[in-house]
Amino acid sequence: MKDYLIHLASTFPKFRIAELEALADLYNIDVDLSSHNEDSTFLVVSLENDEQARQLISRSVMSFGIYELWGNDKNVKSNFKQYGTSGNFIDVLTMDFTHNALRKDFQIDSIVCDPPYGVREGLRVLGAKNEEKAAGREHDVFDGEIAYLRREFIPPKKPYSLANLLEDLLQFASERLPVGGRLAFWMPTANDNFEETQIPQHERLELLHCLEQSFNQWSRRLLVYVKRDESYKGITSNGLKEKNIRDFRVRYFKRFIDKNE
C-alpha cells in the first residue's frame, strides 16, 4: 500500500466524500476515507498502486488531482526520520557562509545545497558596503561594552552576487571535500542568454552532471561535481563574472522582457 494526497475542491465539502465513495464502489477499490475533514481541501488515502489512484479520481468533479505522498512533515528532522537515518542527524547551524566558523581541516563527505538565488530577497553577506567609511567601527563602545559584542548588535551587511556565491561555493567544496566527495546544487539561468561557459568550474572539481529543469523563460540546473586528486588537471572559471552577468534577480522580476536591461 502507498499513501496518496488528494487535492479536493473547496466548495460543497459534503459532496466530496459521497463522490469518492461512489467512485470507489464503481471501480471496486477498498479505501478508507474516514480521515476526511470538511475544513481541509486535502485528504490522505492509502491505495494499492497508481492505477487505483487514477481510477479513484478519473471521473471526479470534486477533485483537482491525486499525488503520491512522499512525506507528511516539512522539517529537517522529519526528513531524516522518513529515510530511517535519524541516528545520523547531528544538529543545525546558522552562519554566514563567507564567514563560517568551521575549522580549516574540517572535512565534509558530501555537500547538497540549494543556494539563494537572490529572488525572494537580495543576496547579502556580513560586511560593510563602504569599508573605508566603516573602518574603526569595530572599536565602538556602547555603555562600557564593545558594541559588536552586545547581544542586540545587528551586524552590517553588504550585497553579494550570485557569481561570487557560486565561486565561493566551489572553492569551499574543493577545500572541504575528500577525494571522491560530491557537491550538488541548483544554479538559476535565463534561457535567452544561457551558454555552457556560464557553468562555474574549479580545477579540483569535475562536473559530472548538468540537468536542466525549465520554467519557460528561466531554468535551474542541477550541477553535480566530484572532487579529484592532485593528478586531475581541470580549469577554474566563472562564466557569470567573465560575461558580467549580474542581473538575474532584476530580470526575473521584469519577466525577462528585455535581456539588455
For residues 191 and 215, the answer to whether their CB atoms sit within 8 Å is: no
**Rounded to whole angstroms, what are the CA distances from 168 to 49, 199, 249?**
45, 14, 19
Beta strands in 93-217 (DSSP E): 110-113, 124-126, 141-142, 145-146, 157-159, 182-190, 205-215
- The winner for highest mean pLDDT among 72-76, 159-163, 246-250 is 159-163
Closest CA to 172 of 88, 111, 85, 239: 111
- In the chain, list all ranges with CATH 3.30.70.940: 2-68
pTM to 2 decimal places: 0.69
If you average pLDDT over residues 134-156, what whole number do you get?
86
For residue range 21-62, list pLDDT tens digits in order.
999 999 999 999 999 999 999 999 999 999 999 999 999 999
Residues found in the chain: 261
Closest CA to 119 of 192, 201, 220: 220
Asked if the 2-68 domain carries CATH number 3.40.50.1820, the reply is: no
For residue range 180-220, list pLDDT tens digits in order.
999 999 999 888 878 888 999 999 999 999 999 998 888 99
